[in-house]
């Protein structure tokens, strides 16, 4: 079997290069020949041509990028992607994720900001969300990661300023889960099952992302964690993902889902070989 690993062309840190390197090593150990290719196709027609060439040359694609357009083109050419294009798309956008999971798993109460297309308009909708949710309010841009596009509005003034700043970008307002301030759970799932779980803790910030200074501590995945993750993976057709869970008063809440979660941090915290688990899953699926 032959696999292509597509990576974002702007990768430059060691942490970013770790993921494709480990996947390539583990796939090779399973007898798959592997090529790592930067996802660098500019014109659409050219993309389709490249996609055709790629799908002719490889049996499957490990998609480690976040670009949600190229997966559509690749699937149109018959390529099996890990993760699938629809899963990449839904996870890329926090509002789409919320809509897809609504009613299936508990999540913090959430309001979507109305989309604004006029730079000179006054931001609308935040005041109502603030009244309904109570302060502080968590504000998230729909496209974002590593905690960098997640904010906390302490009061009405702070929320108004944030919503004005973000009005031209899709974003949401969310209930602040106080019990979870500075801590959450990250569960990495392969084929719908949790393979590694850690608590992330941050001092001095409500966001516990490792990239923002959070620390990972290995945790057993409880039945509650496993059941929530199974539902998430099934709903979104995910082969691989990292699910963020918040500690609510009396139950866990799904915070967000990452189709291409970095696994270096959770491997260090838990000692689990996530790369191997993912590669074994891909080979099993492709041999079915």
Q: Note the residues at the interface with Mg ion (CB under 5 A).
A: 244, 256
Question: 31 in helix, strand or coil?
Answer: coil
For position 171 contacting ligand ADP by CB under 6 A, the verdict is no
Query: Cβ of residue 133: shortest distance to ligand ADP, in angstroms?
Result: 9
176 contact choice in Mg ion, ligand ADP, none (CB below 5 to 8 Å, kind-dependent) = ligand ADP
Q: Which of 173, 176, 240, 262 binds ligand ADP (CB under 6 A)?
A: 176
Footprint of ligand ADP on residues 232-251 (CB under 6 A)?
244, 246
Q: Round to whole Å and give the CA distance between 236 and 48.
A: 25
Which parts of 127-166 interact with ligand ADP (CB under 6 A)? 138, 140, 144-147, 149-150
Residue 113's binding partner out of ligand ADP, Mg ion, none, with CB under 5 to 8 Å set by partner kind: none
Structure-token pair, residue 101? 């999971």
Lay out the site mask for ligand ADP across 10-49 (x = CB under 6 A, - = otherwise).
----------------------------------------
Q: Give the interface segment with ligand ADP, choosing from 2-10, 40-48, 173-181, 262-270 (CB under 6 A).
A: 173-181
**Is 89 or 184 the residue whose CB approaches ligand ADP more closely?**
184
Q: What spatial distance separates the first Cα and last Cα of the chain, rounded to whole Å?
A: 13
Q: Is 174 in the site for ligand ADP (CB under 6 A)?
A: yes
Rule CB under 6 A: is residue 180 a binding residue for ligand ADP? yes
Helix ranges, the chain (H): 14-29, 44-57, 70-76, 85-92, 94-101, 126-133, 156-166, 223-236, 264-270, 274-287
Measured between alpha carbons, how far is residue 248 from residues 13, 99, 176, 255 in Å?
A: 35, 20, 10, 11
Integer Cα distance of 112 and 174 in angstroms: 9
- Residue 55 vs 113, nearer CB to ligand ADP: 113
> HEC string of 125-153?
CHHHHHHHHCCCEEEEECCCCCCCCEEEE
Residue 150 partner contact from Mg ion, ligand ADP, none using kind-dependent CB cut-offs of 5 to 8 Å: ligand ADP
Q: Is 237 helix (H, G, I), strand (E, B) or coil?
A: coil
What gap in Å lies between CA 126 and CA 164, rounded to an integer? Answer: 9
Which residues contact ligand ADP by CB under 6 A? 108, 138, 140, 144-147, 149-150, 174-177, 180, 184, 206-209, 244, 246, 255-256
């Amino acid at each position: 079997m032959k696999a292509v690993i597509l990576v974002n062309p702007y990768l430059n840190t060691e942490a970013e290069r770790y993921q494709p390197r480990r996947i390539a090593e583990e796939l090779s150990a399973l007898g798959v020949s592997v090529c790592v290719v930067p996802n660098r196709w500019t014109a659409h027609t050219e993309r389709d041509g490249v996609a055709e060439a790629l799908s002719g040359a490889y049996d499957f694609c490990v998609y480690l990028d976040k670009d949600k357009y190229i997966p559509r083109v690749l699937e149109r050419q018959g390529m099996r992607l890990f993760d699938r294009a629809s899963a990449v798309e839904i996870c890329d956008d926090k509002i789409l994720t919320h809509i897809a999971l609504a009613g299936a798993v508990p999540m913090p109460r959430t309001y979507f900001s109305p989309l604004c297309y006029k730079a000179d308009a006054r931001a609308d909708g935040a005041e109502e969300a603030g009244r309904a949710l109570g302060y502080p309010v968590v504000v998230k841009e729909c496209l974002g990661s590593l905690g960098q596009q997640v904010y906390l509005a302490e009061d009405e003034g702070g929320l108004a300023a944030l919503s004005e700043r973000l009005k031209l970008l899709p974003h949401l307002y969310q209930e602040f889960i106080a019990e979870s301030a500075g801590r959450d759970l990250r569960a990495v799932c392969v084929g719908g099952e949790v393979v590694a779980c850690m608590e992330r803790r941050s001092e001095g910030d409500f966001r516990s992302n490792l990239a923002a200074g959070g620390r990972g501590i290995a945790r057993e995945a409880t039945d509650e964690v496993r059941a929530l993750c199974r539902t998430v993976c099934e709903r979104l057709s995910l082969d691989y993902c990292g699910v963020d869970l918040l500690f609510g008063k009396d139950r866990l809440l799904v915070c967000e889902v990452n189709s291409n979660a970095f696994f270096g941090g959770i491997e260090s915290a838990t000692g689990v070989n996530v790369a191997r688990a993912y590669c074994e899953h891909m080979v099993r699926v492709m041999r079915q």
